[in-house]
Amino acid sequence: MTELVALLIRIALPLLVVVLAMITGTICERRHFQAIARREQALGGLPALTVKEYPADRPVSSARMVTGSVVVSIDHFKRFLASLRNIFGGEVRSYCSLLDRGRREAILRMKESCPDADLIINMRVETSSVSQGAKKTLGSTEVLVYGTALTFADQAV
Amino acid sequence: MILTNIEQVPGKRIVAHYGLVSGSTVRAKHVGRDFMASLKNIVGGELKGYTELLEESRKWAVERMMTQAQELGANAIVNVRFSTSSVAQGAAEIYAYGTAVTVEDA
């Protein structure tokens, strides 16, 4: 009897954690994506380009480096899905959404750090994995975004 | 000190080059943060402790680079790049480097 209870606990407890992680993780992620979409809409007037050229005929009043960074991780359920993917191969969708989330958040933070700028040029994205999760799976990812923010002295035409 | 990650400073003219300046920090996650992060890892989402750590170490690296440039008599650093690499399990390096220059109003 006690063995049965012990077995039940051993199986049910991790399962419970995974199910809870799935529910809260999914809700959190959906909210985050909604917030990202809303903020991207609000910051639509500040484009970030990956080229180094800028309109040479406009006088520049200030140029400075801006950065944005974030560390995000995925929930246990998605990590479990990813480990299943490892058996069959193919695209790991649960990690795609994690990286997408991290990059967009970092870009938004960079833009929010310079609301007075007119243009961000030479934007670069640096991604790396900070901590290795259990059993060498990707635990979390850090994204560092940087670029040069320009403010023009004249009004936009 | 003006920092840009393009080859020039828009609106200014480069009058002197001093060569490469760099700064780096190796950061480790501390136990408390690690514990909180491992809890947060279950449900996913942003790990605020790690984000702060990353921001702090980036500032340190940039500051060290700026100190080096100041010692050379520069007033701007152009072509700044960041690079991160993991040195060992639980520790990572952040490296900032660029070219120290003196700029004047064009």
Q: Which of chain B's residues have a Cβ under 8 Å away from the Cβ of A130?
A: 29, 50, 54, 86, 92
| Contact criterion met (CB < 8 Å) for A25 and B43 | yes
Q: Give per-residue pLDDT as tens, A25-39.
A: 888 889 999 999 999
Q: What angle do CA A68, B86, A120 make, to 5 degrees?
A: 20
Q: What is the pTM of this model?
A: 0.85
- pLDDT value for B29: 67
Q: Give per-residue pLDDT as tens, A42-96.
A: 988 899 999 988 888 888 888 999 999 998 888 888 888 887 887 888 888 888 8
| Contact criterion met (CB < 8 Å) for A25 and B89 | no
Q: Give per-residue pLDDT as tens, B65-102.
A: 999 999 999 999 999 999 887 776 667 788 999 999 99
- Closest Cα in chain B, distance from residue A25 (Å): 5
- Closest Cα in chain B, distance from residue A27 (Å): 10
All domains of chain B, ordered by start, with CATH? 2-105 (3.30.110.70)
Spatial distance between the Cα atoms of B12 and B100, rounded to a whole number of angstroms: 14
A122 contact B CB<8A: yes
| Contact criterion met (CB < 8 Å) for B10 and A54 | yes
| Contact criterion met (CB < 8 Å) for B37 and A32 | no
Residue A119 lies in domain:
2-152
- pLDDT value for A130: 61
**Is A31 inside any structural domain?**
yes
- Closest Cα in chain A, distance from residue B10 (Å): 6
Three-state secondary structure call for residue A147: strand
Q: Per the structure, how many domains does chain A have? A: 1
**Is A142 inside any structural domain?**
yes
Q: Give per-residue pLDDT as tens, A132-153.
A: 544 555 667 889 999 999 998 8
**Is A157 inside any structural domain?**
no
Spatial distance between the Cα atoms of B100 and A111, rounded to a whole number of angstroms: 26
**Is A117 inside any structural domain?**
yes
**Is A56 inside any structural domain?**
yes
> What burial class does residue B14 get, using C-beta atoms within 10 Å of its C-beta: 0-12 exposed, 13-18 middle, 19+ buried?
middle
CATH number where A123 lies: 3.30.110.70
Cβ contact B27:A117 at 8 Å:
no
Amino acid (1-letter code) at residue A138: L
Q: Whose CA is closest to B48, among A71, A150, A112, A138?
A: A71
**Is A105 inside any structural domain?**
yes
- pLDDT value for A22: 84
Q: Which of chain A's residues have a Cβ under 8 Å away from the Cβ of B37?
A: 73, 131, 140
Residue A50 token pair: 């990956």
Q: Give per-residue pLDDT as tens, B19-71.
A: 999 999 988 766 666 677 777 777 788 888 888 888 888 999 999 999 999 99
- pLDDT value for A105: 94
